[in-house]
Amino acid sequence: MKGENRRFILNTLSLYASESACRLAQFVFLIIAARILQPGRYGDLALALTLIAISATVSEFGSGILVTKRVAQDPYIAPAQIRQATLLKAILTIPTIASLILYLSFRTTTEETWNLVLAASIGTIFSLHTGPVAAALRGLNRITLESLLRSSGIIVTAACSTIAILLGTGLSGIGIGIMLGSMTSGILHAWVAFHEGWFAPNNNESIARLFRAATPFGLQAIVSILYLRSGSLILEYTAGPTQLGIYSAAYRLVEPLYILPRIFACALFPTLTACLTSGDRDRTRHISTLSIRLFFSLGLPLSVVIHAAAVPIISLLYPGTLYAPSSTVLKIVCWSCTATFISTFTSTLINISQKPQINTYIAFVMLILSIVLNISLTPTLGAHGAAIATLAVEWIGLIVSLPYLPSLAARISPMQVLPRPLAAALLSSPTLLIPNPFCGSSVFLLLYLATLAIFERRRSIPQILNFIRKAKEKRTDSNNSK
């Protein structure tokens, strides 16, 4: 296996390895934090992390996606794109942090929460260049290096925060851990940028032009993070930090699973960009169909397994009765996995098309729906209402995005995606009657994979690799002919 196939496999494996290490470190930290802080203070932590995530997305304003897309099309513009994106991010970060502080000043916020947010803001300012440099590395298909740099900062953050919580420093110590992790990532990315000569001066496009070009991606990112986090903000406001802690304890167990489609889509990003740029709709259609089939085949059994084993999972990770309601929340939100898996790829496909604003429209619909459902459900149902809203929003968002795919790649028939995974799941479902939930879930998963392997005469990943190889050969032949 040569060329593009080897790079695709290397990128995917390196991303999975680094992201798995990051998620494991974050998972350990969050479990320890939930046990020590209890639902009330853990809800304060979840609120602070939500606000930090929103402010980071606003200050980025979609420039990362734009830089990745442009550098993938023309590698020689990487230095100019990095400098302009860093400057744009610096301009947007100041009012973003000011708005965050203003929001906290109107709320009854603990001193610990203030300290956490302020320390994280200092780390953000120190590492303004991190996002643009990482985006350029992804566009240059140097995903292995980018994943190593990014994972270093995340692991430092998780390690320092875990030590801080064990030492009893509370949320203030976690804030220092986040700041140290951001600084570590900033130093490493700065070293790479200086080594590559990306900070050397040259003629650039104006900030205003970059801002206008990044606006579709920025609006999409902001609306997306708002629909993802608005439920937490509304839940904390209507039901209190304890209910937010119960919801977060369950949702944080499902969230790490989303690295599976996210990394796969990230590794395919350069190839899909090249296919759409060259007008190769056949390759785009085949890769899209096989990818969606793969994500549905992965998301469905994971949802079934988590639902069946939700109670023992919560009991094992959070001893006692304080987090017992989280098991019902987990049973609900786990069914959003399949929708999120597929929509991760479809949103990537839309982003690299000529109509990235479609994702903004979809995210806006999901935001409005999330606000309406959370305001309606959380005052009476608390964390369970937030879980129902999350499930409904994810599936409706996927359904809304599907009609746009034919204009970008090709019409994808449900019969190409649904029958075999559903049949394999139905044939394997009797194993869930085994009294031990862990044993029944494990047997179900093994039987499902074996049954699906029998149904699938040709596997999805080898076909994707084959189409990548053919796309590379076609581009090479085209360049030689010129």
134 lies in a domain?
Answer: yes
Q: Compare 123 and 282 and report the one with higher pLDDT.
A: 123
pLDDT score for 180: 93
Whole-prediction pTM: 0.77
pLDDT in tens, 285-310: 777 777 788 888 888 888 888 988 89
Among 3-7, 18-22, 115-119, 412-416, the minimum mean pLDDT is found in 3-7
243 lies in a domain?
Answer: no
pLDDT band at 413 (very low <50, low <70, confident <90, very high): low
Average pLDDT, the chain: 81
Highest-pLDDT range among 93-107, 406-420, 454-468:
93-107
Q: Are residues 16 and 141 both part of a single domain?
A: yes
Among 51-60, 224-233, 434-443, the minimum mean pLDDT is found in 434-443
Q: Are residues 334 and 451 both part of a single domain?
A: yes
Please give the Cα distance from 222 to 469 (Å, whole number).
Answer: 35
Q: Who's near 380: CB < 8 A, 6+ residues apart? A: none
pLDDT score for 444: 83
pLDDT band at 1 (very low <50, low <70, confident <90, very high): very low
178 lies in a domain?
Answer: yes
Cβ atoms of 387 and 325 within 8 Å: the answer is no
Range of the domain at 24: 1-205
Query: How confident is the model over 421-434, as a mean pLDDT?
Result: 80
Query: How confident is the model over 425-433, as a mean pLDDT?
Result: 81
Q: Are residues 329 and 262 both part of a single domain?
A: yes
pLDDT in tens, 218-258: 887 888 888 888 888 899 889 988 999 999 999 988 988 88
Question: Residue 205 pLDDT > 70, yes or no?
Answer: no
396 lies in a domain?
Answer: yes
Q: What is the percent of the chain with per-residue pLDDT over 90, rounded to a whole number?
A: 16
pLDDT in tens, 358-408: 888 888 899 999 999 999 999 999 999 999 999 999 999 888 888 777 666
Q: Are residues 200 and 257 both part of a single domain?
A: no
- Report which residue type is found at 200: A
Q: Are residues 466 and 388 both part of a single domain?
A: yes
* Residue matched to tokens 């000529």: 354
Question: Residue 410 pLDDT > 60, yes or no?
Answer: no
Q: Who's near 450: CB < 8 A, 6+ residues apart? A: none
Among 76-85, 124-133, 203-212, the minimum mean pLDDT is found in 203-212
pLDDT in tens, 146-177: 888 888 888 999 999 999 999 988 888 999 99
Last residue of a domain, one of 139, 171, 205: 205
Cβ atoms of 284 and 275 within 8 Å: the answer is yes
Q: Are residues 280 and 152 both part of a single domain?
A: no
Q: Are residues 186 and 262 both part of a single domain?
A: no
Q: Compare 443 and 354 and report the one with higher pLDDT.
A: 443
Q: Are residues 91 and 170 both part of a single domain?
A: yes
Q: Are residues 49 and 149 both part of a single domain?
A: yes
Query: How confident is the model over 130-141, as a mean pLDDT?
Result: 86
Last residue of a domain, one of 205, 238, 273: 205
450 lies in a domain?
Answer: yes
Question: Residue 463 pLDDT > 80, yes or no?
Answer: no
Q: Compare 376 and 195 and report the one with higher pLDDT.
A: 376
216 lies in a domain?
Answer: no
Number of domains in the chain: 2
Q: How far is CA 354 from the centre of its chain?
A: 22
In this structure, what token pair is assigned to residue 63?
A: 């420039």
Query: How confident is the model over 101-126, as a mean pLDDT?
Result: 84
pLDDT score for 406: 67
Last residue of a domain, one of 171, 189, 205: 205
Q: Are residues 293 and 161 both part of a single domain?
A: no
Query: DSSP labels for 136-149?
Result: HHHHTT-HHHHHHH
pLDDT score for 480: 53
Q: Compare 221 and 267 and report the one with higher pLDDT.
A: 221
Helix (H, G, I), strand (E, B) or coil at 452: helix
Query: How confident is the model over 446-453, as a mean pLDDT?
Result: 81
Please give the Cα distance from 53 to 460 (Å, whole number).
Answer: 34
240 lies in a domain?
Answer: no
Among 24-38, 280-294, 466-480, the minimum mean pLDDT is found in 466-480
482 lies in a domain?
Answer: no
State the greatest distance between any 2 C-alpha atoms of the chain, in Å, as a whole number: 70
62: left (phi over 0), alpha (psi -120 to 50) or beta: left
pLDDT band at 478 (very low <50, low <70, confident <90, very high): low
Query: How confident is the model over 55-65, as a mean pLDDT?
Result: 85
Cβ atoms of 141 and 172 within 8 Å: the answer is no
Q: Are residues 420 and 276 both part of a single domain?
A: yes
Q: Are residues 199 and 258 both part of a single domain?
A: no
Q: What is the percent of the chain with per-residue pLDDT over 70, rounded to a whole number?
A: 83
